[in-house]
């Protein structure tokens, strides 16, 4: 426990270190990871043929993708005892929830909302790293030895509300609290589908509340109605996994009177960042992870510019190495230093996933319509509880709207807001949008995640041939934009 405390507090000091010292830490860990992968993984040995583990640059390493890692899973993992077939059997059995795969690995899978789920194994020791980061860099209160001592006398009460039970990374990591962290923390783990969520939360009186943005927004409504009573003990609200819209943030903040800390992470790297304690973004844990914001061709984009995707390197998972692993999220890094005092690179915006975009047709070519067009419009529709945009035909959309209890939909106001956004992004006259009022919008029954962006018709089959690259829109970034040698996110200088 003392070792955990000292280690965690020293982790926090890294966030105030000069960039070059963090970069040196990052480089040392990357070399160790790549060396280990080349030695113990047949897949990476082949992939990095010709790479000298003691002398290479990050850019020398070819990116990896989910499809590849899943196809070669047994050759990717560095422990030959791990077999994909055994892992799948383990994950198929709900009785294994809360237990370790082969007695030593935390096993999980990503949700299918991004296509094929990725299977993940990591050493149980990694949960100590994740909890250490959560309790220091991801803490609304500044971590000090005094604060740690105070926590021993009065442990934090953390309530985690997930959408449903299962082997989702955000759930499994919380199930594996390291013994060393237990004296500091009491945990209540709930699923939104549990019948008595509100009563149990009221009884538990959490000091910290963590959940998906959609779940937190529902709880905010319960707090507004007076059923959920968490003040004044609640000190921290953390949003995970889903994109936190400006509207959801405002509603949660108003209901609980607290700044919402917005974590950005993926199942492949659950400690990628911690939500900032003063500002809307999240700080990349650049000593343990590398986040590269890149265009469609893996070239870095300048800070302040949205990328087409990100490449993530998890420097701590040696069992299943994720090195320059592609994730289709649209991320923008901040250009200015942060008010909170952390010097770690800050993610300014997470604009949804590339799966959160539609492809529409204009003059025989395809153009991306990002979900922000709808999202921004609904930021002004205060009477709306939830919405969902469905692409009915290539250039025709139906927006389904669920209104808050006791309120009326102001159709004219919403229409104007939608038209304004369509005009702003130059889609006016190009696409038609109908508004449809529905009684209830719920999560996707398959994945348990709520989807605001639904495209039953999907991307066009001849997309690559008829792609229109448009610099005015986040998405594929045209060449030339990156020529000024931007700083790579998550890699603070050299």
Least distance from Zn ion to the Cβ atom of residue 283, Å: 6
301 near 470, Cβ under 8 Å? no
* E-strand stretches of 405-462: 432-437, 453-454
x/- track of binding to Zn ion for residues 197-226 (CB under 5 A): ------------------------------
Considering beta carbons, is residue 64 or 134 the nearer one to Zn ion?
134
Among 9, 100, 340, 430, binds Zn ion (CB under 5 A): 340
Among 303, 338, 414, 418, binds Zn ion (CB under 5 A): 338
Considering beta carbons, is residue 25 or 340 the nearer one to Zn ion?
340
Q: Which stretch binds Zn ion (CB under 5 A): 34-42, 132-140, 332-340, 422-430?
A: 332-340
431 near 413, Cβ under 8 Å? no
Cα 415 to Cα 344: distance, rounded to the nearest angstrom: 41
Supply 74's token pair: 């047994």
- φ/ψ of residue 126, rounded to 5: -65, -25
Residues facing 290 on adjacent strands: 313
For 209-237, the DSSP string reads EEEEHHHHHHHHHHHHHTS---TTT--EE
For 271-336, the DSSP string reads TSEEE-SSSSSEEE-TTTEEEEEE-TTS-B--TTS--SEEEEEESS--SS---SEEE-EEEEE-SS
C-alpha distances in Å from residue 225, one per residue of 165, 193, 198, 255, 435: 27, 20, 12, 10, 28
Least distance from Zn ion to the Cβ atom of residue 277, Å: 7
Supply 42's token pair: 């047949």
159 near 206, Cβ under 8 Å? yes
C-alpha distances in Å from residue 4, one per residue of 31, 236, 340, 479: 25, 22, 24, 46
Among 41, 108, 342, 371, binds Zn ion (CB under 5 A): 342
Considering beta carbons, is residue 234 or 276 the nearer one to Zn ion?
276
Considering beta carbons, is residue 197 or 276 the nearer one to Zn ion?
276
Supply 310's token pair: 């990100």
Considering beta carbons, is residue 15 or 162 the nearer one to Zn ion?
15
Residue 418 binds Zn ion (CB under 5 A): no
Query: Among residues 320, 286, 347, which one has the least CA distance to residue 491?
Result: 286
Considering beta carbons, is residue 15 or 482 the nearer one to Zn ion?
15
Q: Which stretch binds Zn ion (CB under 5 A): 101-109, 122-130, 137-145, 331-339?
A: 331-339
Least distance from Zn ion to the Cβ atom of residue 141, Å: 14
Least distance from Zn ion to the Cβ atom of residue 412, Å: 40
Considering beta carbons, is residue 331 or 390 the nearer one to Zn ion?
331
**Could you say which residues in the range 254-293 bind Zn ion, by CB under 5 A?**
276, 279
Least distance from Zn ion to the Cβ atom of residue 307, Å: 20
Residue 333 binds Zn ion (CB under 5 A): no
Question: How many residues belong to the chain?
Answer: 494
Least distance from Zn ion to the Cβ atom of residue 279, Å: 5
Residue 369 binds Zn ion (CB under 5 A): no
The region that residue 420 occupies, defined by phi over 0 for left and psi between -120 and 50 for alpha, beta otherwise, is alpha
Considering beta carbons, is residue 206 or 280 the nearer one to Zn ion?
280
Considering beta carbons, is residue 121 or 208 the nearer one to Zn ion?
208
Give how many residues touch Zn ion by CB under 5 A: 5
Residue 347 binds Zn ion (CB under 5 A): no
Residue 24 binds Zn ion (CB under 5 A): no
The site for Zn ion (CB under 5 A) is made up of 276, 279, 338, 340, 342
């Amino acid at each position: 426990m003392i070792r955990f405390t000292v280690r965690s507090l020293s982790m926090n000091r890294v966030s105030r270190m000069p960039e070059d010292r963090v970069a040196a830490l990052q480089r040392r860990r990357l070399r160790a990871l790549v060396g280990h992968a080349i030695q113990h993984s047949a897949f990476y040995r082949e992939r990095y043929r010709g790479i000298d583990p003691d002398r290479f640059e990050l850019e020398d390493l070819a990116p990896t993708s989910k499809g590849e890692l899943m196809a070669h899973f047994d050759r990717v993992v560095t422990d030959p005892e791990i077999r994909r077939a055994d892992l799948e059997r383990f994950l198929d059995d709900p009785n294994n929830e809360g237990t370790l795969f082969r007695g030593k690995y935390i096993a999980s899978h990503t949700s299918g909302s991004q296509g094929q789920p990725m299977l993940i194994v990591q050493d149980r020791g990694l949960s100590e790293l994740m909890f250490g980061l959560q309790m220091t860099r991801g803490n609304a209160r500044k971590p000090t030895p005094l604060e740690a001592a105070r926590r021993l006398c009065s442990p934090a009460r953390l309530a985690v509300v997930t959408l449903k039970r299962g082997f989702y990374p955000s759930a499994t990591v919380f199930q594996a609290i390291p013994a060393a962290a237990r004296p500091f923390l009491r945990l209540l783990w709930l699923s939104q589908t549990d019948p008595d969520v509100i009563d149990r939360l009221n009884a538990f009186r959490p000091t910290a509340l963590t959940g998906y943005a959609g779940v937190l927004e529902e709880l905010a409504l319960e707090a507004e109605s007076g059923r959920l009573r968490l003040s004044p003990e609640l000190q921290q609200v953390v949003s995970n996994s889903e994109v936190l819209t400006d509207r959801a943030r405002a509603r949660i903040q108003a209901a609980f009177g607290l700044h919402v800390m917005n974590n950005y992470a993926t199942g492949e790297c659950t400690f990628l960042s911690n939500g900032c304690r003063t500002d809307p973004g999240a700080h990349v844990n650049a000593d343990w992870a590398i986040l590269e914001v890149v265009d469609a061709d893996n070239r870095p984009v300048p800070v302040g510019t949205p990328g087409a995707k990100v490449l993530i390197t998890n420097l701590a998972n040696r069992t299943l190495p994720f090195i320059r692993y592609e994730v289709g999220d649209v991320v923008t890094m901040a250009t200015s230093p942060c008010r909170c005092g952390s010097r770690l690179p800050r993610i300014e915006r997470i604009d949804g996933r590339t799966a959160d975009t539609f492809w529409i047709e204009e003059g025989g070519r395809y153009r991306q319509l990002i979900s922000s067009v709808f999202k921004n419009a609904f930021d002004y529709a205060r009477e709306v509880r939830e919405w969902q945009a469905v692409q009915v035909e290539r250039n025709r959309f139906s927006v389904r709207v669920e209104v808050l209890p006791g309120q009326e939909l102001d159709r004219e106001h919403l229409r104007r807001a939608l038209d304004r956004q369509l005009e702003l992004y130059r889609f006016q006259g190009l696409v038609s949008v109908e508004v449809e009022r529905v009684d209830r919008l719920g999560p996707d029954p398959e994945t348990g995640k709520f989807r605001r962006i639904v495209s039953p018709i999907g991307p066009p089959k001849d997309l690559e041939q008829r792609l229109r690259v448009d610099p005015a829109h986040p998405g594929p970034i045209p060449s030339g934009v990156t020529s000024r040698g931007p700083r790579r996110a998550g890699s603070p200088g050299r």
